[in-house]
Amino acid sequence: MLVYKLLGFSEALMEMVSIRKPEKLHWVEPFYNFVDQLYLRAKKIKEELAGVATPLQMKIVIYGTVFLIFAGMIFTMIAEWNDPKTIGHLAIEDKLLASFFQSVSTRTAGFNTIDIGALEIRTLLFYIALMFIGAAPQGTAGGIKIPTFVTMLGYIRTSFRGRNRVTIFNYVVSKMSVGHAVKLYVMSSTFVLTAILLIAICESQFTLTQMAFEVVSAFGTVGLSTGITMLLAPASKILLVIVMFAGRVGLLTIGSAIIKPSRDSHAVPFVPDDGMKLQIG
């Protein structure tokens, strides 16, 4: 949806500029060409990754969602139970409700009933992991998505066992899906760590946990903050905007738009893949 909006905006902008001041069009062309290429690549890669909602996809999303919700809820209650600045002053039923709501919201809407800036470091670190994982690929939540995370775990398990194919819930996962999951995980981890390092260079008055939380929140398009966003330097704010854009559009999509396929790719022999495809990213 963002790509479509940007595409429409850039077309309207080109019309405005070309009508009023044709000689000033040069600064728009790179942006328009990038968005146009991004749209074409996004359409192609989404067709490759989407497919249909397979039984394996449904199992991973349902079980993964339930597990992450209750894992976040239980961890929040354990870590913040006696903290009066968060949920320590609430009644037991309110503690349960607040912890449950915050666990769900951390991976989706970004609302908060708890003061995020007052959370313990261990809770912030756990929320960083939840925001990085995200939710289901069919929704609008960010992150690398649950199927990507589960596929990576399956890939690691398969590597230790010395097997050739990744199996999840007794289903063989498509090699293409595994490859996309590995690429997305490595790209996302590298991108997020680089952004944290760059912000750490620009900022000195905040803790590393706070800066990491802001970056991952932007990457997952969550919207939660420890309260330091408005205090960041302009360079750090611009970097967060870039991170948010990359997290919304998708690193696989951006990578496909920038890196063109090799011309001799047709020379590679076709190998049939009988595994089940998953929606990655």
pLDDT tens, residue by residue, 119-135: 999 999 999 999 999 98
Residue in the structure block whose two tokens are 């074409």: 40
pLDDT recorded at residue 27: 54
Using a 10 angstrom Cβ sphere, with 0-12 exposed, 13-18 middle and 19 or more buried, the burial of residue 265 is exposed
Using a 10 angstrom Cβ sphere, with 0-12 exposed, 13-18 middle and 19 or more buried, the burial of residue 259 is exposed
pLDDT recorded at residue 15: 37
The least confident of 43-57, 160-174, 189-203, 251-265 is 43-57
Asked whether the predicted pLDDT for residue 225 surpasses 80, the reply is: yes
The least confident of 55-59, 80-84, 224-228 is 55-59
Using pLDDT thresholds of 50, 70 and 90, give the confidence band for residue 249: confident
Measured CA distances, 192 to 81, 197, 222, 257 (Å): 30, 9, 14, 20
Asked whether the predicted pLDDT for residue 1 surpasses 50, the reply is: no
**CA 238 – CA 244 distance, rounded (Å):** 10
H or E element at residue 46: helix 29-50
The least confident of 22-26, 36-40, 55-59, 71-75 is 22-26
pLDDT recorded at residue 46: 56
Q: Report CA 129 to chain centroid distance, whole Å.
A: 11
Computed over every residue of the chain, the mean pLDDT equals 82
171: amino acid identity, one letter: Y
Q: Quote the percentage of the chain above a pLDDT of 70.
A: 75
Total residues belonging to the chain: 281
pLDDT recorded at residue 45: 59
Asked whether the predicted pLDDT for residue 24 surpasses 50, the reply is: no
Asked whether the predicted pLDDT for residue 231 surpasses 70, the reply is: yes
Q: In the predicted model, what is the mean pLDDT of residues 269-278?
A: 65
Please name the residues in contact with 199: beta carbons below 8 A apart, sequence gap of 6 or more.
211, 214, 215, 232, 236, 239, 240
Q: Quote the percentage of the chain above a pLDDT of 90.
A: 54
The least confident of 100-114, 189-203, 259-273 is 259-273
Q: Which two tokens stand for residue 83?
A: 């903290």
Q: Report CA 205 to chain centroid distance, whole Å.
A: 27
Q: Which two tokens stand for residue 137?
A: 């690929």
Bigger pLDDT: 113 or 192? Answer: 192
CB of 170 closer than 8 Å to CB of 273: no
Using pLDDT thresholds of 50, 70 and 90, give the confidence band for residue 267: low
CB of 38 closer than 8 Å to CB of 260: no
pLDDT recorded at residue 7: 39
Angle of helix 121-133 relative to helix 92-106, nearest 10 degrees, comes to 40
Asked whether the predicted pLDDT for residue 3 surpasses 50, the reply is: no
Q: Which residues pair with 239 in a beta bridge?
A: none
- pLDDT tens digits along 131-184: 999 988 877 788 999 999 999 999 999 999 988 899 999 889 988 889 989 999
Beta strands in the chain (DSSP E): 167-168, 171-172
Asked whether the predicted pLDDT for residue 40 surpasses 50, the reply is: yes
Q: Which residues pair with 80 in a beta bridge?
A: none
- Name the DSSP letter for residue 280: -
Q: Which two tokens stand for residue 272?
A: 């049939």
pLDDT recorded at residue 213: 97
Q: Report CA 158 to chain centroid distance, whole Å.
A: 24
Q: In the predicted model, what is the mean pLDDT of residues 26-44?
A: 62
Cα dihedral sign, 111-115-117-122: negative
CB-CB neighbours of 221 under 10 Å: 20
Q: In the predicted model, what is the mean pLDDT of residues 216-224?
A: 93
**CA 78 – CA 73 distance, rounded (Å):** 9
